[in-house]
Amino acid sequence: MIFDSIIFLFAFLPVLLIVYHTVPVQLKNGVLLLASLFFYAWGGLLYLCFMIVSIIFNYICGLWIAGKAKKRHTQRLRLFVCLVVNILMLGILKYGGLLLDSLYPAWNTAENAGFGMEWLAPVGITFYTFQMLSYIIDVYRGKVKVQKNPADLALYAALFVKLPAGPVVKYSAFVKQLHDRKGSWVKFGEGAMFFIRGLAKKVILADNLGRMFEEIMAEAGQMSVLGAWLGCGAFAFQVYFAFSGYSDMAVGLGWMFGFDLPKNFDYPYGAGSVVEFWRRWHISLGAWVEEYVYRLLGKGSVFSILFIWLLTGLWHGISWNYVIWGIYFGILTVIGMSFMRGSLAGIPGVLGRIFSMVLILTGWVFFLCPTPGEAFAYLRAMFGIEANGLIDHYGRYVLMTNLGLVIIVLLSLTPGAYRGLEKIFNRGGRSRALVNGIMYGMLFVLCAAYLVAGDHYPFLYLRF
């Protein structure tokens, strides 16, 4: 089940909200846990089995690591075993099919379609695995007490609001909210509005950008410079609005159930450098990596930066394109954080943002193209080396037919437009709630109309 679906919006969520806010406080966590397991099982019972195995295993790991040991290295060994098993489970389920396809390409044929292992990768497996790693590492460090209630640990791992795309919530931050979270109708209303904003990002902006990208790629063999940049921008912004939209929906849903989840995106395309861009992108995952990986490798070293970026590339899949993408941004990060920091800081604000945008969009090419050869061919078109002119009729046609979408997207990449609308609609005093209700109600109806029409694009990060 996904957030931007009719079954979720008009069946699962309304029923759960009614039940959750009706039952006594003692039963609320149980209702959420059962609903979350049902939500996850909707995508396949086998996926639910994988998650339950992970929860049980890490529950036992927590007790094992917290148990008394005569020597410190015994606890280290216990932690090491638990980490290795978690990483192996993640690797096998996430990459097993890809490895088999690369080792035995003859198997990947039309006759064998549907019999590969790519279906083994459960939705959100990385997110709940990282959260389990957060738990056992913090137990080892003594930052948190071992969780003796398996249902509480299960709710931490399986809470449906953060399953599809995060945010990645550290156990130390979440455990305080398990039995002591504050809800109110004001918080509920703000959560509903935040959810609708995220839904609009995904359904109205991201999905329409996906259609625009498909239009442009239909003429990929004879692309002009304009067409190539439009295609790259459509893809990059589609990923951003879909990912940040899901994160906003997760945060909004969290408020509706009394949880405070961390913000995951902070207008990254308004950043003045590549380093700042990634600090604003998937903030919760960045904080997790810094806490549990970056410090371990040696914070600030060139090796640790490049190694983490290589792992980030491979996290998206086993492909040379992802390797190149990781190395590319790793090098840019090293440059931005070290010897060229002073030189780059001297670039005027607007020029710095344009320069950063060019570098970032160049990197996204290795995502939108399936092979390195196609990616470099696309880059040659973007920079006019092998392009069908600067501007062609088809590129101009796509731009003009999507001009309204392009303007809205560009305005939405920075907080200025939203803050302006907020000032206009939040001046109403007592009528503020009514105005917001009408505006967000109309936005929700528009999103629902798009979904009923059936023009839906799957979320790229669902299986990450």
- Out of 21, 282, 316, 393, the active site residue is 316
Q: Specify the residue for token string 């149980």.
A: 30
Residues sharing a CB contact under 8 Å with residue 456, sequence separation 6 or more, in sequence order: 4, 5, 203, 207
Q: What is the DSSP string of 23-60?
A: S-HHHHHHHHHHHHHHHHHTT-HHHHHHHHHHHHHHHH
Q: How many CA atoms lie within 13 A of 429 on its CB side?
A: 0
CA distance 80 to 289: 18
Contact 235, 213 (CB under 8 A): yes
CA distances from 414 to 132, 280, 418 (A): 34, 12, 8
| DSSP tag of 293 | I
Cα-Cα-Cα-Cα dihedral sign, residues 410, 414, 418, 420: negative
* Whole-angstrom distance, CA of residue 319 vs CA of residue 112: 22
Reference 84, options 58, 119, 123, 49; nearest CA is: 58
Per residue in 372-408, is it b (16+ CB within 10 Å) or e — as a string?
eeebebbbebbeeeebbeeebebbeebbeebeebbee
54/412 Cα distance (integer angstroms): 39
| CA distance to 211, 240, 404, 450, per residue, from 401 (Å) | 12, 22, 8, 18
Within 165-205, residue ranges assigned H as helices are 171-174, 185-200
Whether 282 sits among the annotated catalytic residues: the reply is no
Per the CB < 8 A criterion, the answer to whether 153 and 147 are in contact is yes
Cα–Cα distance for residue pair 264/250, rounded to 1 Å: 10
Structure tokens at 289: 């990596």
Q: Is residue 194 within 8 Å of residue 265, measured between CB atoms?
A: no
Contact in structure between 62 and 146 (CB atoms under 8 Å) = yes
- Catalytic positions are 316
